[in-house]
Structure 1
Amino acid sequence: MYDIDTRAHHAEIEEIEQVVAALEHAQQNELPDDFVALFRAEAIWTTGHGRRLTGRDEISAFTHQVLPGAMRESTATYEVVHVLFIRPDVAAVKVRQRVVTLDRRPIEGLNEGSPLFVMAKEDGRWLLVACQNTEVIDS
């Protein structure tokens, strides 16, 4: 699954997976403050529709606007599928995003997302630094 020696980085991968799980939990439960807390102060987030958000304040304003009420009919799951350590404290993390019903059944006809999260470990904690969400279009 990963292109690195997983034994050497097993603990780091687990911590990264916990951040992605926390992001999923915050989104599914419409917790914008918990969502925003996962980002570095100077982070860049590009939404699945191409909107660029720069800095935690801008990410926060957008998230507080769109997240409450967004999970009324469906939500998303996130699965880490690939980790590339750029340095021991910086990782590119590829994620599989699936749109599901509230009871986690896949929704037919909706494309998956393929987010890329660049994460950095600061003060012992992995944070989202630069993120791009992309819809997978089957050709």
Structure 2
Amino acid sequence: MDDIKQVVLNSDTLQDDPDGFADLLTEDVNLVNIAGHRLHGRETVRAAYRKAMASQLAQVRTRIEIHDAWLVRPDVAVVSATKHVSDERAEPNAPLPDKGAVTFVLARQDEQWLIASVQTTPVK
């Protein structure tokens, strides 16, 4: 499970590196962020992250706290975590929640674990 958890932790570390982050994703990844925006496909996510890093969103930092990880099948894993959000934008156009429940689904492809799906739901 450590290798699976490490991919999730790497996604946190690489949150300001669109290419590094995208390299952790499957080609057909599905991502729903804490603001409710749905992105489908690695290249769509890469482009959205590049755009975000060139905007005020570069001042939003998150930290992942992993709670549990388990195998659904030998090549599919689920990671349950909390996303802690620090919004340092001077003038946010829309406030973000401080915390979200996040679920990662990872798939083993070519001997490595990749993120196939991420769903973040705001927590009050």
Classify the secondary structure of the residue corresponding to 1:115.
strand
State, as a whole percentage, how many aligned pairs show the same letter: 29
* Correspondences of 1:114-125 after superposition (within 5 Å): 114-125=101-112
3-state SS, counterpart of residue 63 of structure 2: strand
- Aligned partner of 1:21 among 2, 9, 19: 9
Partner of 1:48: helix, strand, or coil? coil
Q: Which residue among 89, 100, 117 is the counterpart of 1:113? A: 100
The answer to whether the 8 Å contact 2:81/2:101 transfers is yes
Number of matched pairs: 115
- Following superposition, the deviation at residue 111 of structure 1 comes to 2.7
The answer on 1:76 being equivalent to 2:59 is no
Q: How do 1:25-104 and structure 2 match up within 5 A? A: 25-27=13-15, 30-68=16-54, 70-72=57-59, 74-100=60-86
TM-score (norm 2): 0.83
What is the TM-score with the length of structure 1 in the denominator? 0.74
Q: Which has the higher contact order (CA 8 A, sep 6+)?
A: 2
Higher share of residues assigned strand: 2
**Equivalent pair of 1:20/1:79 in contact (CA under 8 Å):** no
Q: Deviations over 1:29-80 (max 9, x none)?
A: x2110011110001111111221111111111111111345343x5211122
C-alpha RMSD of the superposition? 1.8
SS where residue 98 of structure 2 aligns?
coil
User: What secondary structure is seen at the aligned counterpart in 2 of 1:49?
Assistant: coil
